[in-house]
């Protein structure tokens, strides 16, 4: 440092140059002090880093503790999504109930179906041309399937019953009644289960 000062004084010999040299020395001492202070502040930085890590860990644990609330909200969202499906099911059931036929329509359909089945059973007793007769029966029933006029429906039903009686006479087909039916009961005191006849009314 003395050589630097002597060289500066010999070359210039002025006070201003000495002041600049002193300022340079002051800057170097300031740099040394700042480096020493930075080395001393390393543990403070490490402690601050540990504090940041602990804060982040506590935040993660906090989110883990709040996980049931998220599942609860998911369950509520699922329940809200299931509500419109239940309403749609109720509407579908109401639509099905609106198409239920009346008692008169049910009896008419039952008589037509039984007559159709009796025709097929009687045709199977024919000695020949069974397939042609079966196709003819199916054609006759399907041709009158969409007839809505009540007069035409009753007329077709009466015509079908008349033809079935003729087919019964030709083939000898007889309907087999159920043995448990009250029509098959043969009781002298109480014929066909009629109330008011036989015992105890005869006493």
Confidence label for 60 from pLDDT (cuts 50, 70 and 90): very low
166 touches 153 (CB < 8 A): no
pTM strictly above 0.75: no
* Structural element, H or E, at residue 64: helix 42-65
Helix (H) or strand (E) holding 132: helix 130-143
pLDDT at 148: 83
Nearest Cα to Cα of residue 161 among 103, 110, 112: 112
Give the model's pLDDT for residue 115. Answer: 92
| Percent of the chain predicted with pLDDT > 70 | 39
Q: Do 108 and 122 contact (CB within 8 A), yes or no?
A: no
**What pLDDT does 189 receive?**
59
Q: For position 31, what pLDDT does the model report?
A: 72
The residues spanned by each domain of the chain are 2-40, 103-184
- The predicted pLDDT at position 6 comes to 47
Three-state DSSP class for 178? coil
Q: How confident is the model at residue 79 (pLDDT cuts 50, 70, 90)?
A: low
Please check the confidence at residue 62 and state whether its pLDDT lies above 60.
no
Mean pLDDT over each residue of the chain, to the nearest integer: 67
């Amino acid at each position: 440092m003395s050589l630097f000062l002597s060289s500066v004084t010999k070359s210039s010999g002025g006070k201003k140059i000495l002041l600049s040299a002193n300022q340079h020395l002051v800057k170097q001492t300031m740099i040394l002090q700042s480096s020493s202070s930075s080395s001393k502040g390393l543990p403070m930085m490490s402690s601050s880093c540990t504090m940041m890590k602990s804060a982040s860990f506590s935040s993660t644990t906090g989110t883990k503790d709040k996980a049931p609330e998220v599942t609860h909200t998911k369950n509520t969202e699922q329940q809200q999504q299931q509500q419109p499906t239940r309403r749609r099911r109720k509407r579908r059931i109401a639509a099905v109930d609106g198409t239920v036929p009346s008692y008169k329509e049910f009896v008419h359909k039952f008589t037509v179906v039984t007559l159709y089945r009796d025709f097929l059973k009687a045709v199977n007793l024919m000695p020949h041309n069974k397939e042609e007769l079966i196709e003819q029966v199916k054609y006759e029933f399907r041709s009158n399937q969409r007839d809505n006029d009540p007069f035409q429906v009753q007329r077709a039903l009466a015509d079908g019953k008349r033809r079935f009686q003729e087919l019964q006479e030709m083939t000898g087909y007889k309907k087999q009644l159920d043995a448990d039916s009250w029509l098959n009961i043969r009781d002298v005191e109480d014929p066909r289960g009629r109330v008011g006849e036989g015992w105890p009314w005869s006493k």
